[in-house]
Amino acid sequence: MPTRIHRLRFLLASFLFMTAAVGAQAQTLHIGLAEDPDVLDPTLARTFVGRIVFSAMCDKLFDIDDKLNIVPQLATGYQWSADGKALTIKLRSGVKFQDGETMDAAAVKYSIERHKTMPGSNRRGELAPVSSVDVIDPSTVRLNLSAPFAPLLAQLADRAGMIVAPKVAQAEGDKFGSKPVCAGPYQFVERVAQDRIVLERFPDYWNKSAIHFDRIVYLPIPDSTVRLANLRSGQLDFIERVAASDLPQIKGDSHLQVSKITEIGY
């Protein structure tokens, strides 16, 4: 999928927050989404807002930092073969899935193969050049390619690089999205369609010192006016996407802050 880098425009996506709500005493973060995400299965998912929820629930092999560099996340390093047709990835040790299962090379192999072969997968095209996956040892996996493919690391920094818990995924099949289990900082609690998605902090997360909230509640509110009203009333701490016409009054409100980022646009 072609990409281009540009300065994010508020009409497309913005995050606002009330500074008091994200202080040290806050335990639950309430986030207003512009729509309800589709299925919470990284293999089958398509929507932009779904990626926001996944970012708290499912760590990836790689991530993208605030300067748009690709950096390891569940991986600790990687090496390309001389011909560019094999990518060897070293994995972080001590990582557990939210069901207590260990995240290892076998789990990575399972997830990549699931992305490629599961009926209805939206990751199949993203990983098309990956012809096979080899487990070298419990902390090393090799992706074999049919041809050199420069965007592979970028793909593995998104849903194609999200590793799911094999036992749960095998047991649930295409119902996995109703109770997903990954290796991220927050674990799934409940979902009420068109109402809320609730996640709780996973106590055995590998980077737990970086996590400061006990719970995240995502609330889909399609009407931008209603989202903003909920933010102003304190019912929400962040909102995703605002109307451009609302920006002047938002900037004039000392209780609100607008955050601008450099975005990768699709």
Question: DSSP letters of the chain?
Answer: ---EEEEPPTTT--EEEEGGGGSTT--EEEEEESS----S-TTT---HHHHHHHHHH--BSEEE-TTS-EEESSEEEEEE-TTS-EEEEEE-TT-B-TTS-B--HHHHHHHHHHHHHSTT-SSTTTTTTEEEEEEEETTEEEEEESS--TTHHHHTTTGGGB---HHHHHHHGGGGGGS---SSSEEEEEEETTTEEEEEE-TT-TTGGG---SEEEEEE---HHHHHHHHHHTS-SEEE---GGGHHHHHT-TTEEEE--EEEE-
Note whether residue 179 is domain-resident: yes
Report the distance separating Cα 216 and Cα 234, nearest Å: 15
Q: Answer whether 0.85 is exceeded by the pTM.
A: yes
pLDDT band at 22 (very low <50, low <70, confident <90, very high): very low
- The CATH number assigned to the domain holding 186 equals 3.40.190.10
In angstroms, the CA 135 to CA 133 distance is 7
- Tell me if 232 is assigned to some domain: no
pLDDT band at 264 (very low <50, low <70, confident <90, very high): low
Model pLDDT for residues 186-218, shown as the tens digit of each residue: 999 999 999 999 999 999 999 999 999 999 999
In a domain, 248, yes or no: no
φ, ψ for residue 263 (rounded to 5)?
-110, 150
The whole-angstrom separation of Cα 80 and Cα 86 is 6
By residue range, what is the domain housing residue 89?
A: 35-220
Q: What is the pLDDT of residue 5?
A: 34
Query: Domain total for the chain?
Result: 1
Residue 178 covered by a domain: yes
Distance separating alpha carbons of residues 96 and 241, to the nearest angstrom: 33
Angstrom distance (rounded) from CA 220 to CA 192: 10
Residue 160 forms part of a structural domain: yes
Is 156 part of any domain?
A: yes
Q: What is the pLDDT of residue 244?
A: 85
Tell me: pLDDT of 142 over 90.
Answer: yes
pLDDT of residue 69: 93
Q: What is the mean pLDDT of residues 12-27?
A: 44
CA distance linking residue 223 with residue 259, whole number of Å: 20
Domain contains 234: no
pLDDT at 1 over 90: no
Confirm whether 41 is domain-assigned: yes
